[in-house]
Chains A and B, each alone.
Chain A
Amino acid sequence: MPIFQITLNGILTGCIYCLIAVSFGLSYKTVKFYNLAHVSLILIGGYTMLLFYKIWSLPFIPSLIISILLTAVIAYLIQKYIYTPLRNRGATDMAMLIASLGINAIISGLIAIIFSNQFQSIANANLPTIIYTFFNLSITKIQLFNFITTTFVLIFVFSINKYSNLGRAISAIGDNEETAKIFGIDTKKIIGRTAFLSGAIAGLSGIIIGFDTGLKPTFGTMIVYKGIAANIIGGIGNLPLSALTSIILGITENFGTYILNSQWRDLIVFLLMIIFMYCRSLKNAR
Protein backbone atom coordinates (compact mmCIF):
# COMPACT_ATOMS: atom_id res chain seq x y z
CA MET A 1 0.00 0.00 0.00
CA PRO A 2 1.67 3.21 -1.07
CA ILE A 3 -0.70 5.30 1.05
CA PHE A 4 0.98 4.33 4.30
CA GLN A 5 4.43 4.81 2.86
CA ILE A 6 3.45 8.22 1.51
CA THR A 7 1.99 9.18 4.87
CA LEU A 8 5.17 8.07 6.59
CA ASN A 9 7.32 10.00 4.15
CA GLY A 10 5.06 12.99 4.66
CA ILE A 11 5.46 12.78 8.40
CA LEU A 12 9.22 12.56 8.00
CA THR A 13 9.32 15.57 5.67
CA GLY A 14 7.03 17.30 8.12
CA CYS A 15 9.47 16.62 10.94
CA ILE A 16 12.11 18.87 9.39
CA TYR A 17 9.54 21.60 8.79
CA CYS A 18 8.42 21.06 12.33
CA LEU A 19 11.86 21.74 13.76
CA ILE A 20 12.24 24.86 11.65
CA ALA A 21 8.72 26.03 12.42
CA VAL A 22 9.26 25.57 16.15
CA SER A 23 12.57 27.40 16.21
CA PHE A 24 11.21 30.18 14.03
CA GLY A 25 8.08 30.41 16.17
CA LEU A 26 10.11 30.59 19.38
CA SER A 27 12.12 33.43 17.94
CA TYR A 28 8.98 35.17 16.66
CA LYS A 29 7.32 34.95 20.05
CA THR A 30 9.96 37.07 21.69
CA VAL A 31 11.24 39.39 18.97
CA LYS A 32 7.93 39.65 17.04
CA PHE A 33 9.24 40.04 13.54
CA TYR A 34 9.93 37.59 10.74
CA ASN A 35 13.53 36.75 11.47
CA LEU A 36 14.63 35.57 8.05
CA ALA A 37 18.21 35.22 9.29
CA HIS A 38 16.95 31.85 10.43
CA VAL A 39 17.78 30.59 6.96
CA SER A 40 21.45 31.28 7.59
CA LEU A 41 21.37 29.78 11.10
CA ILE A 42 20.26 26.52 9.58
CA LEU A 43 23.07 26.74 7.05
CA ILE A 44 25.54 27.38 9.87
CA GLY A 45 24.36 24.27 11.70
CA GLY A 46 24.62 22.12 8.60
CA TYR A 47 27.96 23.42 7.43
CA THR A 48 29.70 23.28 10.82
CA MET A 49 28.59 19.65 11.04
CA LEU A 50 29.97 19.13 7.56
CA LEU A 51 33.26 20.66 8.67
CA PHE A 52 33.63 18.72 11.92
CA TYR A 53 32.16 15.38 10.98
CA LYS A 54 33.04 14.95 7.34
CA ILE A 55 36.09 17.12 6.68
CA TRP A 56 37.82 16.84 10.04
CA SER A 57 36.25 13.41 10.71
CA LEU A 58 35.51 13.99 14.37
CA PRO A 59 33.20 11.47 16.05
CA PHE A 60 29.49 11.93 15.52
CA ILE A 61 28.25 12.96 18.96
CA PRO A 62 30.90 15.62 19.78
CA SER A 63 30.61 17.23 16.37
CA LEU A 64 26.83 17.23 16.68
CA ILE A 65 27.01 18.97 20.04
CA ILE A 66 29.64 21.46 18.96
CA SER A 67 27.77 22.48 15.82
CA ILE A 68 24.48 22.89 17.68
CA LEU A 69 26.17 24.96 20.37
CA LEU A 70 27.98 27.07 17.79
CA THR A 71 24.76 27.86 15.95
CA ALA A 72 23.06 28.72 19.21
CA VAL A 73 25.89 31.04 20.22
CA ILE A 74 25.80 32.79 16.85
CA ALA A 75 22.04 33.21 17.13
CA TYR A 76 22.55 34.67 20.59
CA LEU A 77 25.24 37.06 19.35
CA ILE A 78 23.09 38.24 16.46
CA GLN A 79 20.27 38.88 18.90
CA LYS A 80 22.51 40.69 21.37
CA TYR A 81 24.60 42.82 19.05
CA ILE A 82 22.21 43.48 16.19
CA TYR A 83 18.54 42.96 16.96
CA THR A 84 18.38 44.33 20.49
CA PRO A 85 20.31 47.54 19.67
CA LEU A 86 18.19 47.96 16.55
CA ARG A 87 15.01 47.66 18.59
CA ASN A 88 16.38 50.14 21.09
CA ARG A 89 16.83 52.58 18.23
CA GLY A 90 13.12 52.23 17.55
CA ALA A 91 13.31 50.09 14.42
CA THR A 92 9.95 48.96 13.08
CA ASP A 93 9.17 45.32 12.37
CA MET A 94 9.79 45.93 8.70
CA ALA A 95 13.20 47.45 9.36
CA MET A 96 14.05 44.43 11.50
CA LEU A 97 12.95 42.12 8.71
CA ILE A 98 15.16 43.97 6.22
CA ALA A 99 18.09 43.84 8.63
CA SER A 100 17.57 40.09 9.06
CA LEU A 101 17.61 39.74 5.27
CA GLY A 102 20.92 41.60 5.32
CA ILE A 103 22.35 39.30 7.99
CA ASN A 104 21.18 36.34 5.98
CA ALA A 105 22.94 37.66 2.88
CA ILE A 106 26.17 38.19 4.84
CA ILE A 107 26.24 34.76 6.45
CA SER A 108 25.21 32.77 3.40
CA GLY A 109 27.74 34.71 1.33
CA LEU A 110 30.51 33.88 3.81
CA ILE A 111 29.48 30.23 3.83
CA ALA A 112 29.50 30.13 0.05
CA ILE A 113 33.03 31.58 0.02
CA ILE A 114 34.33 29.15 2.64
CA PHE A 115 32.55 25.97 1.56
CA SER A 116 32.04 26.75 -2.15
CA ASN A 117 28.71 27.09 -3.86
CA GLN A 118 28.46 23.39 -4.70
CA PHE A 119 25.92 20.92 -3.45
CA GLN A 120 27.31 18.91 -0.54
CA SER A 121 25.94 16.17 1.65
CA ILE A 122 27.23 15.34 5.11
CA ALA A 123 26.35 11.67 4.66
CA ASN A 124 29.20 9.62 3.29
CA ALA A 125 28.31 8.75 -0.28
CA ASN A 126 30.52 5.62 -0.25
CA LEU A 127 28.53 3.96 2.51
CA PRO A 128 25.22 2.45 1.49
CA THR A 129 22.16 4.07 3.04
CA ILE A 130 20.84 1.88 5.80
CA ILE A 131 17.17 1.17 5.35
CA TYR A 132 15.00 -0.40 7.99
CA THR A 133 11.85 -2.15 6.89
CA PHE A 134 8.90 -3.14 8.99
CA PHE A 135 5.30 -3.79 7.99
CA ASN A 136 6.30 -3.11 4.39
CA LEU A 137 7.31 0.42 5.38
CA SER A 138 10.85 1.47 4.73
CA ILE A 139 12.69 4.20 6.56
CA THR A 140 16.32 5.24 6.28
CA LYS A 141 18.57 5.59 9.27
CA ILE A 142 18.79 9.36 9.01
CA GLN A 143 15.03 9.59 8.71
CA LEU A 144 14.67 7.54 11.85
CA PHE A 145 17.18 9.83 13.57
CA ASN A 146 15.19 12.78 12.29
CA PHE A 147 11.95 11.39 13.64
CA ILE A 148 13.36 10.58 17.06
CA THR A 149 15.16 13.89 17.53
CA THR A 150 12.12 15.85 16.39
CA THR A 151 9.98 14.02 18.91
CA PHE A 152 12.49 14.74 21.66
CA VAL A 153 12.88 18.37 20.70
CA LEU A 154 9.12 18.84 20.59
CA ILE A 155 8.67 17.26 24.01
CA PHE A 156 11.55 19.35 25.34
CA VAL A 157 10.28 22.62 23.91
CA PHE A 158 6.68 22.05 24.91
CA SER A 159 7.62 21.09 28.44
CA ILE A 160 9.84 24.16 28.71
CA ASN A 161 7.04 26.23 27.30
CA LYS A 162 4.50 24.89 29.70
CA TYR A 163 6.24 24.11 32.94
CA SER A 164 9.38 26.20 33.29
CA ASN A 165 9.83 29.82 34.28
CA LEU A 166 11.49 30.48 30.95
CA GLY A 167 8.40 29.31 29.10
CA ARG A 168 6.12 31.44 31.21
CA ALA A 169 8.37 34.44 30.68
CA ILE A 170 8.40 33.79 26.94
CA SER A 171 4.65 33.71 26.72
CA ALA A 172 4.44 36.83 28.89
CA ILE A 173 6.75 38.63 26.46
CA GLY A 174 4.75 37.18 23.60
CA ASP A 175 1.62 38.77 25.05
CA ASN A 176 3.11 42.14 25.76
CA GLU A 177 6.74 43.00 26.26
CA GLU A 178 6.14 46.21 28.18
CA THR A 179 3.81 44.55 30.66
CA ALA A 180 6.28 41.72 31.10
CA LYS A 181 8.94 44.29 31.94
CA ILE A 182 6.67 45.91 34.51
CA PHE A 183 6.10 42.54 36.15
CA GLY A 184 9.81 42.25 36.73
CA ILE A 185 10.78 39.92 33.91
CA ASP A 186 14.29 40.59 32.64
CA THR A 187 13.16 40.70 29.02
CA LYS A 188 16.63 41.11 27.56
CA LYS A 189 17.87 38.00 29.29
CA ILE A 190 14.81 35.98 28.28
CA ILE A 191 15.01 37.14 24.67
CA GLY A 192 18.69 36.22 24.61
CA ARG A 193 17.99 32.76 26.02
CA THR A 194 15.17 32.21 23.56
CA ALA A 195 17.47 33.20 20.71
CA PHE A 196 19.97 30.64 22.02
CA LEU A 197 17.34 27.93 22.23
CA SER A 198 15.83 28.64 18.82
CA GLY A 199 19.34 28.83 17.35
CA ALA A 200 20.13 25.42 18.78
CA ILE A 201 17.00 23.90 17.23
CA ALA A 202 17.75 25.63 13.94
CA GLY A 203 21.27 24.19 14.01
CA LEU A 204 19.90 20.71 14.65
CA SER A 205 17.49 21.00 11.75
CA GLY A 206 20.35 22.19 9.54
CA ILE A 207 22.31 19.08 10.44
CA ILE A 208 19.37 16.83 9.61
CA ILE A 209 18.87 18.61 6.28
CA GLY A 210 22.58 18.16 5.60
CA PHE A 211 22.32 14.42 6.11
CA ASP A 212 18.98 13.96 4.45
CA THR A 213 18.98 16.08 1.32
CA GLY A 214 22.33 17.86 1.31
CA LEU A 215 23.42 21.46 1.65
CA LYS A 216 23.83 24.33 -0.74
CA PRO A 217 24.15 27.98 0.34
CA THR A 218 21.20 29.00 -1.81
CA PHE A 219 19.28 25.74 -1.82
CA GLY A 220 18.57 25.37 1.89
CA THR A 221 16.45 28.48 1.81
CA MET A 222 13.55 26.67 0.18
CA ILE A 223 13.15 24.14 3.00
CA VAL A 224 13.43 26.90 5.55
CA TYR A 225 10.85 29.03 3.82
CA LYS A 226 8.57 26.03 3.92
CA GLY A 227 9.13 25.66 7.64
CA ILE A 228 8.32 29.33 8.05
CA ALA A 229 5.25 28.84 5.88
CA ALA A 230 4.15 25.99 8.15
CA ASN A 231 4.56 28.28 11.13
CA ILE A 232 2.49 31.00 9.50
CA ILE A 233 -0.25 28.58 8.52
CA GLY A 234 -0.37 27.29 12.07
CA GLY A 235 -0.64 30.77 13.49
CA ILE A 236 2.66 32.49 14.17
CA GLY A 237 3.99 31.85 17.62
CA ASN A 238 1.48 29.11 18.32
CA LEU A 239 4.01 26.31 18.70
CA PRO A 240 1.82 23.18 19.08
CA LEU A 241 -0.40 24.19 16.19
CA SER A 242 2.51 25.08 13.93
CA ALA A 243 4.16 21.73 14.77
CA LEU A 244 0.95 20.02 13.75
CA THR A 245 0.59 22.02 10.55
CA SER A 246 4.17 21.23 9.59
CA ILE A 247 3.36 17.53 9.76
CA ILE A 248 0.14 18.05 7.82
CA LEU A 249 2.03 20.16 5.31
CA GLY A 250 4.60 17.41 4.88
CA ILE A 251 1.86 14.85 4.28
CA THR A 252 -0.03 17.13 1.87
CA GLU A 253 3.14 17.82 -0.01
CA ASN A 254 3.94 14.14 -0.38
CA PHE A 255 0.41 13.24 -1.46
CA GLY A 256 0.40 16.20 -3.80
CA THR A 257 3.57 15.03 -5.44
CA TYR A 258 2.21 11.49 -5.63
CA ILE A 259 -0.96 12.62 -7.35
CA LEU A 260 0.50 15.40 -9.48
CA ASN A 261 4.22 15.33 -9.95
CA SER A 262 7.25 15.86 -7.77
CA GLN A 263 8.07 19.17 -9.38
CA TRP A 264 5.02 20.89 -7.94
CA ARG A 265 5.83 20.32 -4.25
CA ASP A 266 7.21 23.79 -3.48
CA LEU A 267 4.40 25.41 -5.36
CA ILE A 268 1.77 23.55 -3.33
CA VAL A 269 3.28 24.68 -0.04
CA PHE A 270 3.48 28.35 -0.88
CA LEU A 271 0.08 28.36 -2.51
CA LEU A 272 -1.26 26.95 0.74
CA MET A 273 0.59 29.62 2.72
CA ILE A 274 -0.90 32.44 0.69
CA ILE A 275 -4.38 30.94 0.83
CA PHE A 276 -4.07 30.66 4.60
CA MET A 277 -2.81 34.22 4.93
CA TYR A 278 -5.75 35.37 2.83
CA CYS A 279 -8.26 33.41 4.88
CA ARG A 280 -6.82 34.72 8.10
CA SER A 281 -7.07 38.28 6.86
CA LEU A 282 -10.71 37.63 5.98
CA LYS A 283 -11.28 36.43 9.51
CA ASN A 284 -9.46 39.38 11.05
CA ALA A 285 -11.31 41.92 8.98
CA ARG A 286 -14.17 43.28 11.00
Chain B
Amino acid sequence: MNILELKNITKKYGATTALDNLSIAFRAGRISGVTGPNGSGKSTMFNIISGRQNTDEGEIFLNRKKIPYLNIESANICGIIYVFQEPKLFDQISVLDNILAPKMIKPIFAAMREMNYDRHIQSICPILKKMGLWDKRNELASNLSYGQRKLLQLSRAVASNASIILLDEPFAGLFSETKQIIKQIIIELKKQNKTIILIEHNQKILQDLCDKIFLLNNGHLVNCEKPEKIWGKLL
Protein backbone atom coordinates (compact mmCIF):
# COMPACT_ATOMS: atom_id res chain seq x y z
CA MET B 1 0.00 0.00 0.00
CA ASN B 2 1.23 3.48 -0.75
CA ILE B 3 1.58 5.31 2.53
CA LEU B 4 2.83 8.57 1.09
CA GLU B 5 2.12 9.86 -2.36
CA LEU B 6 3.14 13.08 -4.04
CA LYS B 7 1.15 14.04 -7.12
CA ASN B 8 2.31 16.61 -9.69
CA ILE B 9 4.33 18.60 -7.21
CA THR B 10 5.96 21.74 -8.58
CA LYS B 11 8.24 24.01 -6.58
CA LYS B 12 10.02 27.05 -7.92
CA TYR B 13 12.65 29.28 -6.35
CA GLY B 14 12.37 32.44 -8.38
CA ALA B 15 13.44 31.47 -11.86
CA THR B 16 14.83 28.03 -11.08
CA THR B 17 12.51 25.06 -10.85
CA ALA B 18 13.46 22.70 -8.04
CA LEU B 19 10.67 20.23 -8.55
CA ASP B 20 8.94 19.97 -11.89
CA ASN B 21 5.65 18.08 -11.86
CA LEU B 22 7.03 15.37 -9.64
CA SER B 23 4.85 12.37 -8.88
CA ILE B 24 6.23 9.77 -6.56
CA ALA B 25 4.77 7.16 -4.24
CA PHE B 26 6.37 5.43 -1.27
CA ARG B 27 5.15 2.09 0.07
CA ALA B 28 4.50 1.38 3.70
CA GLY B 29 7.02 -0.64 5.64
CA ARG B 30 9.69 -0.43 2.99
CA ILE B 31 13.02 1.30 2.67
CA SER B 32 12.90 3.59 -0.35
CA GLY B 33 16.14 5.01 -1.60
CA VAL B 34 16.15 8.37 -3.35
CA THR B 35 19.18 9.25 -5.39
CA GLY B 36 20.19 11.63 -8.10
CA PRO B 37 22.74 14.31 -8.91
CA ASN B 38 23.13 17.42 -6.77
CA GLY B 39 20.36 19.90 -7.35
CA SER B 40 17.93 17.29 -8.57
CA GLY B 41 15.38 18.27 -5.95
CA LYS B 42 15.86 15.55 -3.34
CA SER B 43 16.20 17.89 -0.39
CA THR B 44 13.39 20.10 -1.63
CA MET B 45 11.17 17.04 -1.75
CA PHE B 46 12.08 16.19 1.85
CA ASN B 47 11.46 19.75 2.94
CA ILE B 48 8.02 19.60 1.37
CA ILE B 49 7.16 16.22 2.88
CA SER B 50 8.26 17.42 6.34
CA GLY B 51 6.23 20.60 6.01
CA ARG B 52 9.16 22.99 6.00
CA GLN B 53 8.35 24.38 2.57
CA ASN B 54 5.09 24.74 0.77
CA THR B 55 4.43 23.60 -2.74
CA ASP B 56 3.51 25.83 -5.64
CA GLU B 57 1.30 23.18 -7.16
CA GLY B 58 0.37 19.61 -6.51
CA GLU B 59 -1.14 17.40 -3.85
CA ILE B 60 0.15 15.17 -1.10
CA PHE B 61 -1.67 12.02 -0.03
CA LEU B 62 -1.08 10.17 3.20
CA ASN B 63 -2.74 6.75 3.43
CA ARG B 64 -4.67 7.73 0.30
CA LYS B 65 -6.15 10.72 2.09
CA LYS B 66 -5.32 14.15 0.81
CA ILE B 67 -3.47 16.40 3.24
CA PRO B 68 -4.93 19.87 2.79
CA TYR B 69 -2.11 21.85 4.36
CA LEU B 70 1.20 20.48 5.49
CA ASN B 71 3.35 22.42 7.91
CA ILE B 72 5.82 21.36 10.56
CA GLU B 73 3.16 20.74 13.19
CA SER B 74 0.81 18.80 10.96
CA ALA B 75 3.72 16.76 9.61
CA ASN B 76 4.34 15.66 13.19
CA ILE B 77 0.69 14.66 13.56
CA CYS B 78 1.00 12.67 10.34
CA GLY B 79 3.93 10.83 11.89
CA ILE B 80 6.62 12.23 9.62
CA ILE B 81 10.06 13.01 10.98
CA TYR B 82 13.03 14.46 9.15
CA VAL B 83 16.58 13.48 10.05
CA PHE B 84 18.83 16.14 8.58
CA GLN B 85 22.16 15.64 6.94
CA GLU B 86 23.65 18.34 9.14
CA PRO B 87 22.23 17.35 12.51
CA LYS B 88 19.79 19.82 14.03
CA LEU B 89 19.92 19.37 17.78
CA PHE B 90 19.04 21.46 20.79
CA ASP B 91 22.64 22.48 21.21
CA GLN B 92 22.77 23.98 24.65
CA ILE B 93 21.05 21.25 26.61
CA SER B 94 22.16 17.76 27.56
CA VAL B 95 22.01 14.67 25.38
CA LEU B 96 19.36 13.17 27.65
CA ASP B 97 17.12 16.23 27.40
CA ASN B 98 17.55 16.14 23.66
CA ILE B 99 16.30 12.62 23.38
CA LEU B 100 13.48 13.29 25.83
CA ALA B 101 12.07 15.78 23.32
CA PRO B 102 9.74 13.37 21.51
CA LYS B 103 8.73 11.65 24.74
CA MET B 104 7.47 14.37 27.04
CA ILE B 105 3.88 15.41 27.63
CA LYS B 106 2.73 17.94 25.08
CA PRO B 107 -0.17 19.92 26.62
CA ILE B 108 1.11 22.91 28.57
CA PHE B 109 -0.50 22.50 31.95
CA ALA B 110 0.25 18.81 32.13
CA ALA B 111 3.81 19.59 31.10
CA MET B 112 4.19 22.00 34.00
CA ARG B 113 3.46 19.18 36.43
CA GLU B 114 5.67 16.57 34.82
CA MET B 115 8.88 16.40 36.81
CA ASN B 116 9.72 12.71 36.81
CA TYR B 117 11.36 11.20 33.76
CA ASP B 118 12.31 7.72 34.99
CA ARG B 119 9.70 6.08 32.81
CA HIS B 120 10.88 7.90 29.69
CA ILE B 121 14.53 7.33 30.49
CA GLN B 122 13.91 3.61 30.80
CA SER B 123 12.36 3.51 27.37
CA ILE B 124 15.15 5.59 25.89
CA CYS B 125 18.04 3.81 27.57
CA PRO B 126 18.35 0.89 25.11
CA ILE B 127 18.50 3.21 22.10
CA LEU B 128 21.15 5.39 23.69
CA LYS B 129 23.19 2.38 24.74
CA LYS B 130 23.06 0.98 21.24
CA MET B 131 24.27 4.29 19.90
CA GLY B 132 27.05 4.44 22.49
CA LEU B 133 25.72 7.71 23.85
CA TRP B 134 24.58 6.49 27.25
CA ASP B 135 27.86 7.45 28.93
CA LYS B 136 27.62 10.92 27.43
CA ARG B 137 24.01 11.49 28.45
CA ASN B 138 24.77 14.46 30.68
CA GLU B 139 27.00 16.32 28.26
CA LEU B 140 25.83 19.26 26.21
CA ALA B 141 24.84 18.28 22.71
CA SER B 142 27.18 20.90 21.26
CA ASN B 143 30.17 19.12 22.84
CA LEU B 144 29.56 15.94 20.87
CA SER B 145 31.51 15.02 17.77
CA TYR B 146 29.89 15.18 14.35
CA GLY B 147 29.24 11.46 14.23
CA GLN B 148 27.77 11.41 17.71
CA ARG B 149 25.54 14.33 16.83
CA LYS B 150 24.25 12.39 13.84
CA LEU B 151 23.64 9.34 15.99
CA LEU B 152 21.82 11.45 18.56
CA GLN B 153 19.57 12.96 15.92
CA LEU B 154 18.77 9.52 14.58
CA SER B 155 18.07 8.09 18.01
CA ARG B 156 15.73 11.03 18.68
CA ALA B 157 13.87 10.12 15.51
CA VAL B 158 13.70 6.48 16.58
CA ALA B 159 12.39 7.47 19.99
CA SER B 160 9.71 9.63 18.42
CA ASN B 161 7.72 6.63 17.15
CA ALA B 162 7.12 8.36 13.84
CA SER B 163 5.83 6.05 11.14
CA ILE B 164 7.60 7.77 8.25
CA ILE B 165 11.27 8.58 8.73
CA LEU B 166 13.07 10.78 6.22
CA LEU B 167 16.81 10.21 6.32
CA ASP B 168 18.95 12.72 4.47
CA GLU B 169 22.33 11.11 3.83
CA PRO B 170 22.62 9.48 7.24
CA PHE B 171 25.95 7.88 6.31
CA ALA B 172 27.73 10.93 4.95
CA GLY B 173 30.95 11.84 6.70
CA LEU B 174 30.92 8.95 9.16
CA PHE B 175 33.38 6.31 10.26
CA SER B 176 32.64 2.81 8.97
CA GLU B 177 31.75 1.42 12.42
CA THR B 178 29.24 4.18 12.94
CA LYS B 179 27.86 3.42 9.51
CA GLN B 180 27.31 -0.18 10.59
CA ILE B 181 25.37 0.96 13.67
CA ILE B 182 23.13 3.14 11.54
CA LYS B 183 22.61 0.34 9.03
CA GLN B 184 21.49 -2.00 11.77
CA ILE B 185 19.12 0.59 13.14
CA ILE B 186 17.56 1.16 9.75
CA ILE B 187 17.05 -2.57 9.31
CA GLU B 188 15.48 -2.77 12.76
CA LEU B 189 13.19 0.10 11.96
CA LYS B 190 12.04 -1.78 8.90
CA LYS B 191 11.27 -4.79 11.06
CA GLN B 192 9.07 -2.53 13.17
CA ASN B 193 7.13 -1.82 9.98
CA LYS B 194 8.24 1.80 9.66
CA THR B 195 8.47 3.51 6.31
CA ILE B 196 11.94 4.83 5.61
CA ILE B 197 12.86 7.19 2.84
CA LEU B 198 16.57 7.53 2.39
CA ILE B 199 18.61 9.98 0.36
CA GLU B 200 21.91 8.36 -0.46
CA HIS B 201 24.58 8.53 -3.14
CA ASN B 202 26.51 5.40 -2.29
CA GLN B 203 25.49 2.55 -4.63
CA LYS B 204 26.50 -0.21 -2.28
CA ILE B 205 24.48 1.11 0.63
CA LEU B 206 21.48 1.61 -1.61
CA GLN B 207 21.80 -1.91 -2.95
CA ASP B 208 22.18 -3.41 0.52
CA LEU B 209 19.36 -1.57 2.21
CA CYS B 210 16.70 -0.44 -0.17
CA ASP B 211 13.66 -2.22 -1.47
CA LYS B 212 13.18 0.26 -4.23
CA ILE B 213 15.29 3.06 -5.65
CA PHE B 214 13.98 6.32 -7.07
CA LEU B 215 16.23 8.25 -9.40
CA LEU B 216 15.60 11.97 -9.58
CA ASN B 217 16.99 14.42 -12.07
CA ASN B 218 16.09 18.07 -12.66
CA GLY B 219 13.06 17.72 -10.44
CA HIS B 220 11.68 14.79 -12.38
CA LEU B 221 11.35 11.20 -11.39
CA VAL B 222 13.56 9.53 -14.00
CA ASN B 223 13.35 5.95 -12.92
CA CYS B 224 12.11 3.76 -10.11
CA GLU B 225 13.15 0.15 -9.91
CA LYS B 226 14.31 -2.59 -7.61
CA PRO B 227 18.02 -2.06 -6.82
CA GLU B 228 19.17 -5.10 -8.83
CA LYS B 229 17.64 -3.71 -11.98
CA ILE B 230 18.32 -0.01 -11.75
CA TRP B 231 22.10 -0.10 -12.03
CA GLY B 232 21.95 -2.20 -15.16
CA LYS B 233 19.68 0.33 -16.78
CA LEU B 234 21.79 3.26 -15.72
CA LEU B 235 24.97 1.76 -17.10
In the complex, A touching B (Cβ < 8 A): yes
Q: Hey, which chain B residues are within 8 Å of A286, CB to CB?
A: 52-54, 71
A286 to B52, CA, bound (A): 8
Contact with B along A263-286 (1 / 0, CB 8 A): 000000000000000000000001
Q: Residues of A contacting B53 with CB < 8 Å?
A: 286
Q: Report Cα–Cα, A286/B71, bound state, in Å.
A: 8
Contacts of B71 in A (CB 8 A): 286
B127-164: which residues lie under 8 A (CB-CB) from chain A?
none
Q: How far is the CA of A286 from the CA of B53 in the complex (A)?
A: 6
Q: A101-139 CB contact bits vs B (8 Å, 1 = yes)?
A: 000000000000000000000000000000000000000
Chain B contributes a number of interface residues (CB within 8 A of A) equal to: 4
Closest CB in chain B relative to A93 CB, distance in Å:
16
* Chain A residues closer than 8 Å to B52, beta-carbon distance: 286
Residues of B41-73 at the interface with A, using a CB-CB cut-off of 8 Å, are: 52-54, 71
Q: What number of residue pairs across chains A and B have CB atoms under 8 A from each other?
A: 4
Tally of chain A residues near chain B (CB < 8 A) = 1
CB closest chain-B residue, reference A286:
B54
State the Cβ distance, A64 to closest chain B Cβ, in Å. 45
Q: When chains A and B are docked, how far (Å) is the Cα of A286 from the Cα of B75? A: 14
Give the CA-CA distance A286 to B54 in the complex, in Å: 7
Tell me the smallest distance from the CB of B117 to a CB of chain A, in Å: 30
Closest chain A residue, CB of each to CB of B53: A286
* CA A251 to CA B101, docked complex, whole Å: 50
Q: Could you tell me the distance in whole angstroms from the C-beta of B118 to the nearest C-beta in chain A?
A: 35
Min CB distance, B74 to chain A, in Å? 12
- A window 16-38: CB within 8 A of B: none
In angstroms, Cα B54 to Cα A17, docked, is: 38
**Distance in Å from the Cβ of A286 to the closest Cβ of chain B?**
5
* Chain A residues closer than 8 Å to B54, beta-carbon distance: 286
Give the CA-CA distance A40 to B71 in the complex, in Å: 43
Which A residues, 215 to 237, have Cβ-Cβ distances below 8 Å to chain B?
A: none
What's the minimum C-beta distance from A176 to chain B, rounded to whole angstroms?
16
Distance between Cα atoms of A250 and B71 in the complex (Å)? 40
B52, closest chain A residue (CB): A286
A95–B52 Cα gap in the complex (Å)?
A: 28
> Least Cβ distance of A95 to chain B in Å?
13
> How many Å from the CB of A91 to the closest CB on chain B?
15
**Chain A proximity of B82: nearest CB distance (Å):** 14
| Chain B positions 9-45 with a Cβ under 8 Å from a chain A Cβ | none
CB-nearest residue of chain A to B47:
A286
Query: Taking the nearest CB of chain A, how far is it from the CB of B151, in angstroms?
Result: 25
In Å, the complex CA distance between A138 and B85 comes to 65
Per the bound structure, the CA–CA distance linking A286 and B73 in Å amounts to 12
Tell me the complex Cα distance, A174–B52, Å: 25
Give the Cβ gap from B18 to chain A, nearest Cβ, in Å.
Answer: 15
CA distance A285 to B52 in the complex (A): 10
Q: Which residue of A lies closest to B71 (CB)?
A: A286
Mask: chain B, 202-224; 1 = CB below 8 Å from A; 0 = not: 00000000000000000000000
A286 to B51, CA, bound (A): 9
- What distance in Å separates the Cβ of A175 from its nearest Cβ neighbour in chain B? 14
Q: Nearest Cβ distance between residue B80 and chain A, in whole angstroms?
A: 15
Query: Closest A-chain residue to B70, C-beta based?
Result: A286
Residue-wise, chain A 230-273 has the 8 Å CB interface mask toward B (1 for contact) of 00000000000000000000000000000000000000000000
Alpha-carbon separation in the docked complex, A286 to B11 (Å):
13
Q: How far is the CB of B204 from chain A (nearest CB, A)?
A: 34
| Shortest beta-carbon distance from B32 to chain A in Å | 25
Chain B residue at smallest Cβ distance from A285: B71
What distance in Å separates the Cβ of B171 from its nearest Cβ neighbour in chain A? 27
Q: Shortest beta-carbon distance, B166 to chain A, in Å?
A: 17
Q: Mark B179-221, 1 if CB is under 8 A from A, else 0.
A: 0000000000000000000000000000000000000000000
Assembly CA distance A277 to B234 (angstroms) = 51
CB distance from B75 to the nearest CB of A (A): 12
Q: Could you tell me the distance in whole angstroms from the C-beta of A111 to the nearest C-beta in chain B?
A: 37
Q: How far is the CA of A286 from the CA of B55 in the complex (A)?
A: 10
Chain B nearest CB from A89 CB (Å) reads 16
Q: How far, in angstroms, from A63 to B52 measured CA to CA in the complex? A: 56
Cα distance, A47 to B71, chains bound together (Å): 53
4 contacts between A and B (CB under 8 A): A286-B52, A286-B53, A286-B54, A286-B71
| Interface positions of B (Cβ within 8 A of A) | 52-54, 71
* 4 A-B pairs with the lowest CB-CB distances in the bound complex, closest first: A286-B54, A286-B53, A286-B71, A286-B52
